[in-house]
Structure 1
Amino acid sequence: MTDLAHIRNFSIVAHIDHGKSTLADRLIQTTDTVAARDMKEQLLDAMDIERERGITIKANTVRIDYTAENGEQYVLNLIDTPGHVDFAYEVSRSMRAVEGSLLVVDSTQGVEAQTLANVYQAIDADHDIVPVLNKIDLPASDCERVAEQIEDVIGIDASGAIRVSAKTGEGIRETLEAIVKHLPAPKGTRDAPLKAMLVDSWYDAYLGVIVLVRIMDGVLKKGERIKMMQTGSVHHVDRIGVFRPAMQAVDELGPGEIGFLTASIKQVRDTKVGDTITHEKKGAETPLPGFKPSVPVVFCGLFPVDSAEFEDLRDAIEKLALNDASFSYEMETSAALGFGFRCGFLGLLHLEVIRDRIEREYDIDLITTAPSVIYHIYGRDGEMVELHNPADMPDPSKIDHIEEPRIKATILVPDEFLGDVLKLCQDRRGIQLDLTYAGARAMVVYDLPLNEVVFDFYDRLKSVTKGYASFDYQLTGYREDNLVKMQVLVNDEPVDALSTMVHRDRAEMRGRAMCEKLKDLIPRHMFKIPIQAAIGGKVIARETLSALRKDVTAKCYGGDATRKRKLLDKQKAGKKKMRQFGKVDIPQEAFISALKMDG
């Protein structure tokens, strides 16, 4: 048992690639938490995709024992959080479990958009913040400028910022001392009824559901019966432990401690993130405030290429949903694609990660339909329905107006690329709200429609700014606009997966671009294929994919021209018939590529 004054709970927050996971590695290594032979780069990033892409996706936790310079023993609970905007939900719930944060800023790059977003989450959670300037071993490092920038842009005192090189290990001892001296100890009462916050849960094939908890009050022991206050379910605790990053069993967890429990829980749905866990008998009266449930922003359909794999896909999706509380799904059917699932994600990177994990971990080939956002459709009778999939749009004659979600986007960009960024935002129907300067970098704030951002806005932003811009957004609400549903017809058959919602003023341009793209992407067949974009019954763009030709007159040598004519007419009639009954195969790449709109 550790007394509260000697516990420190903290998270590491930063923009992508500013060195959070490497700093966590050094803290673990310096305190000998892991034996030298087990140490590896990005120790806490366990998933293959995390290691490949070099990003953190799941927040991970580790318990470190540290002997301070004054000789006292401390227990440090560290949560390493993701930096990418799509995983902001992981960050927000990790923040509620700890009392302080290390704000890591790259001393060569300075403050970026996600730095701001993550710091504001820490400030919202009433954290004490210790600024850390990383990468001081690089020649481009400029600590004075970056410390000044932190004070100007974020408004926290950075005069005593710790200078660190997470790569070489310089400044790590000073960081550990600052955690002990400047971050607050947790509060909590040992004798009060048990109150534990459920921070995260995931599924393990051997142990069932593993629940990550932060004890606020009371003591949790092995063998006790616990109750989840939101769902009311009761469980018997089999095992309690802490992460050093490997699991280590302990007998009890007291106030201020972070650890895990297993209780033969079968479904992660029984463990709602943010729920309060208490004892079945003599439990707490009121639950902890918890946190807002995650709201999916982007929806898309996932269908198996081979319809016989539908049951395998269902198993895969259920297992992934166990580990990811922010991923939602429901069954859907499509005329062209058969049975599949309509899934909700927090953003496009989240979508890509889930898709990659299904294809890799469960070996299922997928067709992904166009990502879309939720529209609010108001009928003439005053009723509002939510539209997740453009293919399900009601009859236009019954619609009064359509509202689309808007976001407030913050973009930090070097001065020389500002013009390109402003043009990109204007092209995407953006409304400029603010433009300020922090040193040589501009901070632009725009009001943008989410459906313009969902696709390839981030890629375009990176390409027009040579990778120097950083981008963060939050949803602001819904606004009415002149939106229509654009359908794509291939060989006179509508293709559900390519239906999209577009602004009426830009429909023709989008339709034309899409038809041209599909003409390049669909392989030629033995008959000619018309590709059309239409709004309702009106065709607004068309391209024709010419047929492959077989030379049927090759065997005619000399003789009357009518012999050749007869063969050609026969071929023509055959192609006409084929066009009536022929099936056009659209390759999977065509779906994704056709929807990526280049400027």
Structure 2
Amino acid sequence: MKNIRNFCIIAHIDHGKSTLADRLLEFTSTVSKRDMQAQLLDNMDLERERGITIKSHAIQMQYPYKGEIYTLNLIDTPGHVDFSYEVSRSIAACEGALLIVDSSQGIEAQTISNLYLAIGSDLTIIPVLNKIDLPHSMPEEVSDEIVDLIGCDRDEIIPASGKSGIGIEAILNAICERVPAPVGDPDAPLQALIFDSVFNSYRGIEVLFRIKNGTMKKGDKLRFMATGKEYGADEIGILGLNQEPRLEIGAGNVGYLISGIKEAREVKVGDTITHVARPTTEAIQGFADVKPMVFAGIYPVETTEYEELRSCMEKLQLNDASLVWEPETSVALGFGFRCGFLGMLHMEIVQERLEREFNMTVITTVPSVQFHATGTKDQRLVINAPSEMPEPNMIKLIEEPYIKAQIITASDYVGPIITLCMEKRGIIKGQSYLTSERVELSFELPLSEIVFDFFDKLKTISRGYASLDYELIGFRESDMVKLDIMLNGEKVDALSAIVHRSKSYEWGRRLCEKLRELLPRQQFEIAIQASIGQKIISRETVKALRKNVIAKCYGGDISRKRKLLEKQKEGKKRMRQVGSVEIPQEAFLAVLKID
């Protein structure tokens, strides 16, 4: 055990985590030259296309140091804030963290929030100054920032370059020297923490775990403590570039388990595995519950695919523990699921993964939050989607969820951020300077105002420097109204939204204008109307596509042409009565593009 080192790589997005991981794998000969490719651990098509890490990836390396062989378990983590739950889970399985800072960009928001996660879990931090070979890198200034942030000595910072391989040996030596060996008793009852799981269509569910105490052997009878289910360890092993089976895995090590589990809901990330014969009395402290920021409906395009979509969601949730979902129905779209996401990028990625990995074509509705209403007979109603909201004359009052938001930003951007929060009906509660350059602002904001584009706008006006953390503080009475969208006089519940009365007219007008651009023209006219209750507040019209019926008449009498036009007019009338409008997927998310 004394030669095991478990560490993860944390950094802001685009600071070179995956490239540095490539160099570590090359240097330790974990991967042969022939198998090497850039961002080797990012094995999902989406990750490669977008150049971002979405999943944490674990891999084991062997490294000789001072005459001994060290086992290094590396976890490469995502940098984007929407995947911070992945980072927090990786940190729980480690004793040390490489904090990568780009020497040309300096410390950014996600660097700080990931660092606080690591410090909160008592990890040993090894600061690495990356990309020092860039012509515009600023090693001196950024080193000063790191010293101020962590309070380390300047000579503890390792200068490196993931691209050209500078400083890789120094990083590996520092891991062996500075990161503590895992603590645990190999002879105690088995305690293993599940930190991830993957669905394999041939072998069932593969569980990734980190052993805290005890030893796991092939063929052992195991119990999952949260679900109470029992399994046999058909295959256990370590995570090299490919899975490498082993006969036993000891305390402090990371590995995988295959035991023929078929049901996705039987594996819970954060659960503890123990032996059936000699169980442990206490479970390992799991992970904090995930806080969804955005709720949206996901529906199959064909209603017959509902059950198939359910099983796809279960398999996806195995691999993405931050996804929360429950069944719901819609008049326009039929049966589907109301899902909770950590942000808009997360929502986009989930939709893409459903389409690519599971071949499911889905429609996503407008993101929203939960409201509480009191009816005229004092009955309490919980409103999860706009379609559930009663008519205005049936409601006494509506309450909406409020959050306490803490925003950490550079002092240059305080003014624009306060303006943004005021526009979103926020109340400023406090402002404190952490250093001369960094400010912490606290606000009380309605959750419904921040689910759409608040985070994107915050990042834009602060050039990516602001980081947002929030907690729910309860429900408050508010003047909310349901804005209905009608196409040719029929309400489309999937396009409805619940908005504040002060913003409803502007919202309705803009939404109608946006829909006019997005709806394809038909053979008949489409009236797009926004209404609050019975009152129409805005209207736009999509003009009909007109077929030129008199094209075949050349010259000749006008009565022949008139007869054809009259005939077309009759047909158009009949068409308008039965015409059903085809709505493209973009129209359901038109709200997001209003600005």
TM-score w.r.t. length of structure 2:
0.91
- 1:83 paired with 2:60, answer no
1:161: which partner in 2? 157
**What are the within-5 Å matches in structure 2 for residues 382-531 of structure 1?**
385-396=381-392, 397-406=394-403, 408=405, 410=407, 412=409, 415=412, 420-432=416-428, 433-434=430-431, 436=433, 446-461=443-458, 468-480=464-476, 481-531=478-528
In the alignment, which residue of structure 2 is the partner of 1:252? 248
Deviation of residue 172 (structure 1)? 1.2
Q: Does 1:371 align with 2:367?
A: yes
- Structure 1 residue matching 2:2: 3-state secondary structure: helix
Aligned residue for 1:178?
174
Tell me the equivalent position of 1:285.
Answer: 281
Q: 1:351 and 1:205 mapped to 2: Cα distance?
A: 24
Which TM-score applies when normalising by structure 1? 0.90
Question: Does structure 1 conserve the Cα–Cα contact (< 8 Å) formed by 2:8 and 2:75?
Answer: yes
CA offsets, 1:122-173, max 9 Å, x none?
1221212121111111122112222332344x44325221111111111111
What is the root-mean-square deviation of aligned Cα atoms in Å? 2.9
Q: 2:345 aligns with which of 330, 338, 349?
A: 349
Change over 3 Å in CA distance of 1:551–1:346 after alignment to 2 = same
What residue in structure 2 maps to residue 219 of structure 1?
Answer: 215
CA distance in structure 1 between the aligned counterparts of 2:464 and 2:321, rounded to whole angstroms = 32
The residue correspondences of 1:19-418 to structure 2 (distance < 5 A) are 19-68=16-65, 70-152=66-148, 154-157=149-152, 159=154, 160-378=156-374, 385-396=381-392, 397-406=394-403, 408=405, 410=407, 412=409, 415=412
Number of residue pairs the alignment of both structures matches? 590
Pick closer, same or farther for the CA change 1:560–1:131 going to 2, 3 Å: closer
Distance in 2 (CA, whole Å) between partners of 1:110 and 1:352 is 29
Distance 1:541 1:158 in 2: 63
SS of match in other structure, 1:190: coil
- Residue 376 and residue 63 in structure 1: after superposition, are their counterparts in 2 closer, same or farther (change >3 A)? farther
Letter in structure 1 aligned against 2:125: I
Q: Is the 8 A contact 1:326 1:345 kept in 2?
A: yes
Q: Give distance in 2, aligned partners of 1:58 and 1:332.
A: 28
Q: CA deviation at 1:363?
A: 3.1
Instruction: Provide the C-alpha distance between the structure 2 equivalents of 1:383 and 1:90, rounded to a whole number of angstroms.
Output: 40
Aligned-partner SS, 1:27: helix
1:533 aligns with 2:533: no
Q: Provide the rounded CA distance (Å) in 2 between the counterparts of 1:25 and 1:470.
A: 29
Structure 2 distance, partners of 1:285, 1:249, is: 29
Structure 2 distance, partners of 1:382, 1:291, is 39
Shift of 1:380: 6.3
C-alpha spacing 1:394/1:185, structure 2 compared with 1 (3 Å): farther
- C-alpha change, 1:556 and 1:66, in structure 2 (3 Å) is closer
Separation in structure 2 between the aligned mates of residue 261 and residue 55 of structure 1, nearest angstrom:
28
CA-CA distance at 1:244 after TM superposition: 1.4
Which stretch of structure 1 is more off in the superposition, 307-316 or 362-371?
Answer: 307-316
| 5+ residue gaps, structure 2 | none
Provide the C-alpha distance between the structure 2 equivalents of 1:398 and 1:90, rounded to a whole number of angstroms: 41
Distance 1:308 1:190, change over 3 A: closer
Measure how far apart 1:447 and its partner are: 4.5
Identical columns (%): 49
Question: In structure 2, what is the Cα distance between the partners aligned to 1:80 and 1:407?
Answer: 31
Contact 2:59 2:74 in 1 (8 A): yes
Q: Which secondary structure does the structure 1 equivalent of 2:523 belong to?
A: coil
Once the two structures are superposed, residues 377-434 of structure 1 have per-residue CA deviations (whole angstroms, 9 ceiling, x without a partner) of 455677655433221224443353312242525364684x665554444333334443
Residue 543 of structure 2 is aligned to residue 546 of structure 1:
yes
Q: Which moved more, 1:417-426 or 1:216-225?
A: 417-426
**Amino acid of the residue matched to residue 589 of structure 1?**
E
Q: Deviations over 1:205-241 (max 9, x none)?
A: 2221111111111111111101111111111111110
- Which amino acid in 2 is paired with 1:107? S
More deviation, 574-583/283-292: 574-583
Deviation at 1:528, TM superposition (A): 2.8
CA contact (8 A) 2:370 2:400 kept: no
Offset of residue 569 of structure 1: 6.7
**CA displacement at 1:530 relative to structure 2:** 2.0
User: Gapped runs of 5+ residues in structure 1?
Assistant: none
Decide whether aligned partners of structure 1 residues 99 and 378 sit closer, same or farther in structure 2, where only a CA change above 3 A counts: farther
Partner AA of 1:483 in structure 2: M
CA 474–510 in structure 1, closer or farther in 2 if over 3 Å, else same: same
Q: 1:541 to 1:413 in 2, by over 3 A?
A: farther
Q: What corresponds to 1:592 in structure 2? A: 589
Q: CA deviation at 1:242?
A: 0.5
Higher mean alpha-carbon deviation, 547-556 vs 194-203, is at: 547-556
Letter of the 1:156 partner, please give it: G
CA apart distance, 1:356:
0.8
Structure-2 separation of matches of 1:412 and 1:54? 26
- With 284-293 and 502-511 compared, the bigger mean Cα shift is at 284-293
SS of the residue 1:37 aligns to: coil
> Does the CA-based 8 Å contact 2:453-2:592 persist in structure 1?
no
